[in-house]
Amino acid sequence: MELINKTALVTGASGGIGEELARQLAERGAHLVLVARRADALERLRREILAAHPGREVTVIPADLAEADAGREVVDALRAAGRPVDLLVNNAGIGSHGAFAEQDPAAVARLIQLNITSLVDLTGRLLPGMLERGCGGVVNVASTAAFQPVPSMAVYAASKAFVLSFTEALWGETRGTGVRVLTLCPGATETAFFTNTGKEFLTRGRQTPAEVARTALNALDGHAPTAVSGLANRLSSAGYRFLPRAAMIRFSQDAVRATHAA
């Protein structure tokens, strides 16, 4: 996908995969709109990118996409700034770890709002303009957790399964329109995800955010609906389809079993 002088909006850009995607998009010539809760982190990244790439335009929109109606506020800010979006990267997300019956309902609602509702809302608000222009792209970040149920991460895995199904369906709907739609499925990655859950698990084989971002941008140049980052992750994601459902659930449960509190 051609990115020179195009505008890419990246949610969850204040750290981890989103921050690295922003850097690599800037390297490939894109202007940026950075969205996340932490305005200070976004401003730091904005200054860093402009220092490395003086010709880029970088707009910061602080927003908490775990709040209802945040997507509308982001799009209103885009319109006020006169910034049409050529590439939407829905990266913002949050995880949890623990038995569902012990989860705080308010925290579960925020997870669903962020991982599903705001992602769908932003896609629905920005995709029509891309289709009208006959060009653009949407990258929705799911997870390797999307390929199977995951006890102790039940709502998180289900939310990512939604993202995978939703985005692959959009890929089918937009074929031949000039709009590139992609699901990115990282495995365990060295980000604040694990710190935020308060648990330590999947400690081996984690990728770096830079590796995941490269997978996403390379996949944008292809045609497949889904990109799984990392060979081991691709093999395990494909292998799950051959397991009986009960065995799949037990295997995924063992894989994410917490070793100790962080």
E-only strand ranges, the chain: 7-11, 31-36, 58-62, 87-90, 136-141, 179-185, 199-200, 226-228, 260-261
**Which member of 8, 32, 78, 156 is catalytic?**
156
C-alpha span between 94 and 229 (Å, rounded): 19
Q: Which amino acid is at 217?
A: L
Q: Which residues are within 8 A (CB) of 98 and not within 5 positions of it... i.e. 6 or more apart?
A: 152, 199
Judge whether 156 counts as a catalytic residue. Answer: yes
Asked whether 96 and 17 are in contact (CB, 8 A), the reply is no
8 A C-beta contact, residue 216 and residue 226: no
Calpha distance 56→71 (Å, rounded): 24
CA–CA gap between residue 72 and residue 127 (Å, rounded) = 14
Q: Which residues are catalytic?
A: 156
